[in-house]
Chain A
Amino acid sequence: MTCKKGTYVKITKDFLKREHRLNTIPEVTSNTPLTGWVTGKLLKDSDLNKKAPIETITGRFVNGTVIEIEPSHSHTFGAYVPELAMVRETILREMWREDDV
Chain B
Amino acid sequence: MFKIESDFDIEKLEKRKSEIIKRSTGLNYSEFETDGIGFNYEKMMGSTGYTFEDVMNIQKENMIGTTPLTELKNLTEYARKFSGDGYGAKILLKDEAANLSGSFKARRAAMSVHKAKQLGYKGVIAATSGNYGAAVAAMAAKYGLQCIIIQECFDSKGKAQPEILEKARACEAYGAEVIQLSVGPELFYTFLHLLDVTKFFNASLYSPYGILGIETLGYEIAKETKNEYGKFPELVIATNAGGGNLTGTARGLERAGAHNTEVYAASVNLRGLHMANDTHFNKKSFTTGHTGFGIPFAINPDRSDVPRSAARVLRYVDKYYVVNQGSVFFITETLAALEGMERGPAGNTSLAVAFRMAQKMRRDEIIVVQESEYSGAGKHHNAQLAFAKENGIELKFGDPLDEVPGSNIIFPKSGADLLLREIPLRHIQKTYLKRYLDTELKINDYIFLEQELRIDQDEIEILLKEVRDERKK
Contact = CB atoms under 8 A, between A and B. Distances in A.
Interface in B144-172: 146-148, 153-154, 156, 162, 165-166, 168-169, 172
Given A37-B179, A61-B4, A73 B382 contact: no
B378 A36 contact: no
A55 B181 contact: no
Interface in A77-91: 77-81, 83-84, 86-88, 90-91
A28 B277 contact: yes
A63 B3 CA distance: 10
B43 interface: no
Interface centre among A20, A22, A25, A87 (most CB of B within 10 A): A87
B4 A58 contact: no
A29 B197 contact: no
A75 B153 CA distance: 13
B415 A29 contact: no
A36 to B, nearest CB: 5
Contact of B382 (A22, A30, A32, A77): A77
B385 A91 contact: no
A3 interface: no
Given A22-B185, A29-B278, A58-B198, A75 B166 contact: yes
A92 B4 contact: no
Contact of A34 (B176, B186, B380): B186
Interface string B314-351: 00000000000000011001100110000000000000
A28 B101 CA distance: 36
A1 interface: no
A35 B154 contact: yes
A88 B329 CA distance: 11
Given A28-B279, A37-B154, A98-B81, A55 B2 contact: yes
B181 A35 contact: yes
A26 B156 contact: no
Interface centre among B178, B182, B183, B197 (most CB of A within 10 A): B182
B14 to A, nearest CB: 10
B182 A83 contact: no
Contact of B377 (A22, A61, A75): A75
Contacts of B413: 90
B4 A53 contact: yes
Contacts of A45: none
A88 B336 CA distance: 9
Contacts of B181: 15, 34-37
B385 A81 contact: yes
Interface residues of B, number: 70
Contacts of B77: 95
Interface stretch (B5-13, B238-246, B253-261, B364-372): B5-13
B397 interface: yes
Contact of A25 (B9, B81, B148, B185): B185
Contacts of B386: 77-81
Contacts of B377: 75-77
Contacts of A69: none
Interface string B196-236: 01100000000000000000000000000000000000000
A75 B375 CA distance: 13
Interface in A15-52: 15-16, 20-22, 24-26, 28-30, 32-40, 43
12 contacts: A24-B185, A26-B277, A35-B154, A35-B181, A37-B180, A37-B181, A38-B180, A58-B148, A62-B4, A78-B162, A78-B384, A91-B78
Interface of B: 2-5, 7-10, 74, 77-78, 81, 123, 146-148, 153-154, 156, 162, 165-166, 168-169, 172, 175-186, 189-190, 197-198, 274, 276-279, 329-330, 333-334, 337-338, 377-378, 380-387, 389, 395-397, 411, 413-415
Given A58-B147, A77-B380, A87-B411, 13 more contacts: A15-B181, A21-B184, A22-B185, A26-B276, A26-B277, A39-B177, A58-B148, A60-B197, A61-B5, A62-B4, A78-B386, A91-B330, A95-B78
